[in-house]
């Protein structure tokens, strides 16, 4: 006799608890928290997903940790919630976090030197146990693991201690990562936590790997292959050209041509939160000077002009219909003057931000890329690494090379 859905649901709830089998229509829509960048929020389809794992990949000094810190600052500002950073590399600077606008007291650090002698080194397994406690607490907005390249598994450490440095420990960290991720996702810890869990992973050259003639070594990520599968979102951070300015140091002297930041491109390579993957956005990240991180006022001013939410005609800029700022419906001046106006008027900033997000979302839906976002007078984005190649383009080149080899082999056999 065929059972009804209600009977099956009742039977499952009796055996495993209420709510174990529910219609998909009853699931809550995914919630997001801001990344600190309007362009990146739109590219992600709303921002960083809550209760999800986020895989941030890129080469050294690209800005991976800075993306996490920007998200933590936004969580402090909008949700009044603290964050945690597992600083495996031991390089976090509280001054930079404060310069980003965050309260260092609201960012808890886990560092290797703070582990007690009785516990031992900060192994991947110990960090995973601590991470589970933090996820169960449902207290933190953002949790960052910086980075997978610096993680050491206990098995790897024990083998090195007993057999010496020459002992092979290949894939121990990758296996440990796979085990940890299965426990976090399979038990529902991440889903119930409300936290955005960031894993920062460095890309490196696959030294000794198979490459085709005339091509540089392929990029290879650290931490194994499990993380991209378990992550709900994966973004690639690519560092571009640096820019310089005159900066006054602590002694009052002006240092000329000081490197103050770099252009950054973020590509959304995977996004299970929604269908908006493959999107790309670009912006400038500052590391020195009066602004650290992303200048949100400058970003909004340029995006509002690019999307024609604020219409620029000659030296005049007309505000959207119904906007009256300082008794005026338009202003004379350039982008910098609009930026200063946004900084001084939080109400104007919030209203203009909402309209610009709507306009930008429409443009990105059609093109998958923000046109000329924050590239200034530059005619395009250039990765700083001259050997950089787009992974998708590189993969297609390999397929083409394999097809040519197969064709040549068939021709030789036929002859």
Which tens digit of pLDDT belongs to each residue from 367-412? Answer: 555 444 433 333 344 444 444 444 445 555 655 666 667 667 666 6
Reading phi first (left if > 0) and then psi (alpha if -120 to 50, else beta), residue 22 is in beta
- pLDDT for 393 equals 52
Q: Which residues pair with 111 in a beta bridge?
A: 87
Per DSSP, the residues of 17-38 read -TTSS--GGGSPPPPEE--S-H
CA nearest to 201, candidates 149, 267, 240: 149
Tell me what pLDDT residue 369 has: 55
* In-domain check, residue 395: no
Q: Is 162:237 a contact under the CB 8 Å cutoff?
A: no
Residues 141 and 223 grouped into a single domain = yes
202 part of a folded domain: yes
Domain limits at 162?
29-236
- Could you give the C-alpha distances from 208 to 143, 234, 394, in angstroms and in order? 34, 26, 17
What would you report as the CA-atom Rg of the chain, rounded to the nearest whole angstrom? 25
Q: CB of 144 within 8 A of CB of 119?
A: no
Same domain, 73 and 147: yes
Last residue of a domain, one of 183, 201, 236: 236
Q: How far, CA to CA in Å, does 11 sit from each of 19, 24, 25, 347, 395? A: 11, 19, 20, 54, 50
- Nearest CA to 195 out of 28, 24, 79 is that of 79
Q: How far is the C-alpha of 43 from the C-alpha of 373, rounded, in Å?
A: 12
| 206 and 319 together in one domain | no
Share above pLDDT 70 across residues of the chain, in percent, rounded to a whole number: 79
Alpha-carbon gap, residue 212 to 402, rounded angstroms: 10
Do 104 and 211 lie in one domain? The reply is yes
Q: Please name the residue ranges forming H helices in 138-204.
A: 154-163, 172-186, 189-193
Any domain includes 1: no
Tokens 């603290």 belong to 82
Give residue-wise pLDDT tens across range 27-84. 888 899 999 999 898 888 889 999 999 999 998 888 899 999 999 999 999 999 999 9
Regarding pTM above 0.85, the answer is no
Tokens of 311: 């219409």
According to the model, what pLDDT value does residue 378 have? 34
Residue 221 CA to residue 219 CA, distance in Å, equals: 7
Total tally of structural domains belonging to the chain: 2
Q: What is the pLDDT of residue 413?
A: 61
Return the pLDDT at 397. 60
Per-residue pLDDT at 277: 62
Question: Quick one: 182 and 304 in the same domain?
Answer: no
Q: Give the count of beta carbons closer than 10 Å to the beta carbon of residue 108.
A: 15
CATH number at residue 102: 3.40.50.300
Examine the domain organization and report whether 208 and 81 are in the same domain.
yes
CA distances from 389 to 237, 238, 263, 382 (A): 13, 11, 17, 11
- How far apart CA 287 and CA 252 sit, in angstroms, is 19
Describe the strand order of the beta sheet including 316-318 as a list of residue ranges.
311-313, 316-318, 330-332
In SS3 terms, 116-145 reads as: CCCCCCCCHHHHHHHHHHHHHHCCCCEEEE
Ranges of residues in the chain with a pLDDT under 70 are 1, 116-120, 164-170, 205-219, 274-277, 288-290, 364-404, 406-407, 409-415
């Amino acid at each position: 006799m065929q059972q009804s859905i209600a009977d099956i649901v009742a039977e499952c709830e009796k055996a495993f608890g209420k709510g174990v089998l529910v219609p998909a229509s009853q699931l809550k829509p995914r919630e997001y928290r801001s990344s600190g960048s309007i362009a990146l929020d739109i590219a992600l389809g709303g921002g960083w997903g809550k209760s999800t794992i986020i895989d941030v990949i890129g080469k050294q000094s690209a800005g991976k940790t800075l993306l996490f810190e920007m998200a933590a600052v936004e969580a402090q500002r909008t949700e009044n919630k603290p964050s945690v950073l597992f600083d495996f590399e031991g390089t976090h600077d509280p001054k930079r976090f404060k310069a980003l606008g965050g309260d260092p007291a609201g960012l808890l650090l886990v560092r290797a030197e703070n582990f007690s002698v009785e516990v031992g080194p900060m192994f991947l397994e110990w960090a995973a146990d601590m991470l589970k406690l933090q996820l169960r607490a449902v207290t933190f907005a953002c949790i960052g693991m910086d980075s997978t390249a610096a993680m050491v598994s206990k098995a790897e450490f024990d083998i090195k201690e007993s057999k010496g440095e020459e002992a092979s420990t290949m894939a121990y960290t990758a296996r440990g990562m796979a085990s940890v991720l299965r426990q976090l996702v399979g038990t529902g810890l991440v889903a119930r936590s409300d936290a955005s869990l960031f894993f920062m992973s460095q890309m490196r050259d696959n030294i000794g790997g198979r490459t085709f003639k005339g091509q540089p070594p392929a990029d290879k990520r650290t931490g194994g292959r499990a993380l991209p599968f378990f992550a709900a979102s994966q973004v690639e951070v690519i560092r571009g050209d640096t820019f310089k300015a005159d900066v006054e140091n602590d002694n009052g002297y002006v240092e000329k041509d000081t490197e103050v930041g770099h252009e950054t491109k973020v590509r959304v390579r995977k996004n299970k939160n929604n269908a908006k993957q493959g999107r790309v956005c670009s912006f400038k990240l500052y590391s020195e000077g009066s602004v650290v991180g992303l200048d949100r006022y400058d970003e909004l001013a340029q995006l509002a002009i690019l999307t024609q939410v604020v219409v620029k005609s000659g030296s005049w800029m007309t505000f959207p219909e119904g906007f009256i700022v300082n008794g005026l419906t338009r202003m004379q001046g350039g982008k910098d003057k609009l930026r200063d106006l946004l900084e001084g008027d939080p109400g104007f900033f919030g209203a203009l931000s909402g309209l610009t997000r709507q306009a930008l979302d429409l443009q990105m839906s059609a093109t998958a890329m923000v046109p000329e976002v924050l590239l200034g007078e530059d005619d395009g984005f250039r990765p700083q690494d001259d050997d950089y190649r787009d992974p998708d383009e590189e993969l297609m080149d390999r397929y083409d090379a394999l097809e040519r080899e197969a064709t040549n082999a068939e021709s030789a056999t036929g002859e």
